[in-house]
Structure 1
């Protein structure tokens, strides 16, 4: 009996502790332990929550920025961060200066921040909005400076270079940047430090000054100008055009006068195609990837007619591209620039070698990607890729079996044994499921020439020699099926082996002369980048190239897009009922 009474006493005491009143009291104790948010703090948290919900519809980079903002304000216990007017003034200045990097200051809420500085908001809701826009503007600018505004994979699914991400201690760095007003130094540290980026940025400032001064008049179409001593009424305009862009040093003959007024010696001289002007035209042509012949024909006159505003946009586009990858290059690498039809080898941050290349046709584009050169193949045999097999080889063979002998192709089975072409039912195959391989023998007439640089990748794109040497003399060199043909491949081989005793030019040529197919592994794997730069520095000037794959317009559209800024500003717009207005 006594044990039963003790049991119910225990049960009753438990029920008493667990009553709703007791639970409510416990909740009140927990609330008392946590600091209550002020009105400003509650609105900061609500606004950040709205911003988080909108971030997913923009990009992963935006989600990272919002996460940084949430952790930043949480560390401040949801208090206003921008209380120092000098810090706000510095923020306005660094945002304004983002234009020097080809970025748009409006992406970082410049006008709203400037308005808040000139007329500080008084209501909690407007204070919260201003503070969040300042923080978002700074964090977004830092992100764009580090890795670019546009996500490259959104424009090119082949992109496989890692983008520069936030540092491990980025939260502490960002908090210090705001609270100690050290963001100008942080922006400077994140800006790409390569000479190419610095010089391209300098070129942007130069051409903006040209634009502010009125730019230049386009050179009108007219007869071909090619001989020194030739007279043409457009000559003063051409001379002035070349002086403005630094291709010609001012010679005092840059006058504007109608042809029939050329009475004085100076006036007559102004219409003459002089030797100095001829050399200046050649310099202009070289900077634009044109035929360097000094002849002012349709292409050269057309390039001279491009307005300076287009050059400015082209520089902005390519500054963005440099932000994508310049931090991941390393000190030793091979770089192919597709629009300039060129390749260079960089060792220890120094360009050691350059050469011309041939790249893919516009309908068979060389992809933009990164790989590693692992080995060199001497006297390589060419196995026709599936794409060329389906589109070119099989249709041609069906028409005429002699296609195989003309191109020195052997049909082999999966075991590598030759197959009699007449025994193959060619009509039964369209490309997929073809049970054989078409192999071209090595040699001077082989598609791969005498040397191939092996860089395994999913595109089956390689760099190699070629029998079509005359094509290197052309200014436009987009003729391949996607692979990159190198003008002086043996020189690249010597540099890749990096062993002047064992692998000098004589050894490379001796290996080729054996006629045997051999694969030699490199002592170290060398990164190779296939990139797309239509504007790049050349000394103190900027070279421009034809957008051979028509990639610039899409990037410019994304770079100039206001979508992200509009979504952010809309998410941070205060609820009207919470805005205190003066009667």
Structure 2
């Protein structure tokens, strides 16, 4: 289409524009992509041949034509990968729910303009995801590649745990490992075998950054994290840069990110984290889905309508065993017209799913499975953020406990932040909850909610943290990312 629009005439008649484009393609490496996907090797060979012929006072126009076509194809493909990613997320997850970023129908015409102006590299820069975290990925990837070129770091013998105050021959190696990645905060005696307070502080930060319990004890999990090779870290960064490219950039000014792999929810304004909280997510057999919707309302004192699957697999058996079960758990029964019927009217002795024609609903209150507040962003998965009475699970580092919804550790604080600027003060929220009356509050601004799966992502709002691949998804992304590219725009054009 590009050459058809220009009557099949060559596009790259400026050597400066060509070199600008070639340099831009070489920089695809900083995006975690492979320059060879964009004909880097072939282009280098042809450039060498053209320059050699020019030095001899000759020019092979077949090579010039081949070069023109190759670099055009490379630039357009690289642009597409920056816009929508190299790997097709729908091929990995049939339930993928993010819209692809729009590719302008004027792309071929725009490329002509950029070539004429010699600003192809600048135009490609503008296609990178605009969220600051993407640049953080680029910077850290560059740092780790330098570390890799310098030999990486040595594996540290695991052995027994090391506690603060202990003396251990492995301490110098641990200090060296932290120093290499910039995790050693102060100048210290690198050869000391004493596990001192400064090192304890750095170890706790390292543990936090690697999704470990920050107890300062250098045990099995901490040794495993210390011994992850720099090459593995580089792969994880490349995987998550690709995941970032999958996500459309047209976000509201304020948005919520739930990072499933990090067990964290973040509220951001202008791409800056202003609030974060721990969350519990879906078990590995009830995975929390990845999607994006808009927050519609916040409901205080929600009731909970029990899914039929839970009635079938759990509640109906408990009702037969204990006729008082519903009352003890604050459940009520509703008939087909929505009328509440007495729990005592059920024939518990002959109860079965075939003759159970009721809706089971849990009353509002602190006992409710949804806690005292839920955050609704309508979606086909019936997934939402909510409070939970199961607070003890937040003490766990790996928090895969739900059936897919996101249980939130500090939901009332989140509600107050989201309702900022309205008449919903903290006091009004408290009074509403005490009333146990189901009440909805509506935000006065657009707030997107994004459920994401990033195994490298925001870490306490400062830098990049690494998180366990709890849903075992990284390997498939990396395999596709390392393949020679075959993915093209959906309509075959760009």
TM-score by length of 2: 0.90
Q: Match of 2:128?
A: 191
Distance change (3 Å), C-alpha of 1:455 and 1:542: closer
Is residue 2:262 matched to residue 1:340?
A: yes
Checking the alignment, whether the CA contact within 8 Å between 2:330 and 2:362 is kept in structure 1 is yes
Checking the alignment, whether the CA contact within 8 Å between 1:89 and 1:117 is kept in structure 2 is no
d(CA) in 1 for partners of 2:374, 2:85: 34
Is residue 2:427 matched to residue 1:506?
A: yes
Structure 1 unaligned segments of length 5 or more: list them. Answer: 1-69, 256-269, 569-583
Q: Match of 2:179?
A: 243
1:558 deviation in Å? 1.6
1:406 deviation in Å? 4.8
Higher mean C-alpha displacement, 171-180 vs 140-149: 171-180
Structure 2 unaligned segments of length 5 or more: list them. Answer: 54-58, 490-494
Checking the alignment, whether the CA contact within 8 Å between 1:374 and 1:524 is kept in structure 2 is no
Higher mean C-alpha displacement, 389-398 vs 537-546: 389-398
Distance change (3 Å), C-alpha of 1:397 and 1:154: farther
Number of aligned residue pairs: give it. 478
d(CA) in 2 for partners of 1:463, 1:81: 52
d(CA) in 2 for partners of 1:377, 1:542: 33
d(CA) in 2 for partners of 1:229, 1:493: 42
Checking the alignment, whether the CA contact within 8 Å between 2:99 and 2:248 is kept in structure 1 is no
Query: Helix, strand or coil: the match of 1:205?
Result: helix
Checking the alignment, whether the CA contact within 8 Å between 1:370 and 1:527 is kept in structure 2 is yes
Q: Match of 2:352?
A: 427
Aligned positions of 1:170-569 closer than 5 A: 170-226=107-163, 228-249=164-185, 251-255=187-191, 270-325=192-247, 327-394=249-316, 397=319, 403-419=325-341, 420-422=345-347, 426-429=351-354, 435-499=357-421, 502-538=423-459, 541-564=463-486
**Once the two structures are superposed, what CA deviation does each residue of 1:4-52 show, in whole Å capped at 9, x if it has no partner?**
xxxxxxxxxxxxxxxxxxxxxxxxxxxxxxxxxxxxxxxxxxxxxxxxx
RMSD value over aligned CA atoms? 2.5
Query: Helix, strand or coil: the match of 1:145?
Result: helix
Query: Helix, strand or coil: the match of 2:28?
Result: helix
**Once the two structures are superposed, what CA deviation does each residue of 1:187-233 show, in whole Å capped at 9, x if it has no partner?**
1111223221111211111111111111111222211112x221112
Distance change (3 Å), C-alpha of 1:79 and 1:391: farther
TM-score by length of 1: 0.77
Query: Helix, strand or coil: the match of 1:556?
Result: helix
The one of 74, 87, 101 equivalent to 1:150 is: 87
Distance change (3 Å), C-alpha of 1:425 and 1:328: farther
Checking the alignment, whether the CA contact within 8 Å between 2:319 and 2:348 is kept in structure 1 is no
Distance change (3 Å), C-alpha of 1:397 and 1:113: farther
The one of 17, 20, 26 equivalent to 1:90 is: 20
**Once the two structures are superposed, what CA deviation does each residue of 1:422-451 show, in whole Å capped at 9, x if it has no partner?**
26854344xxx9632221112111101111
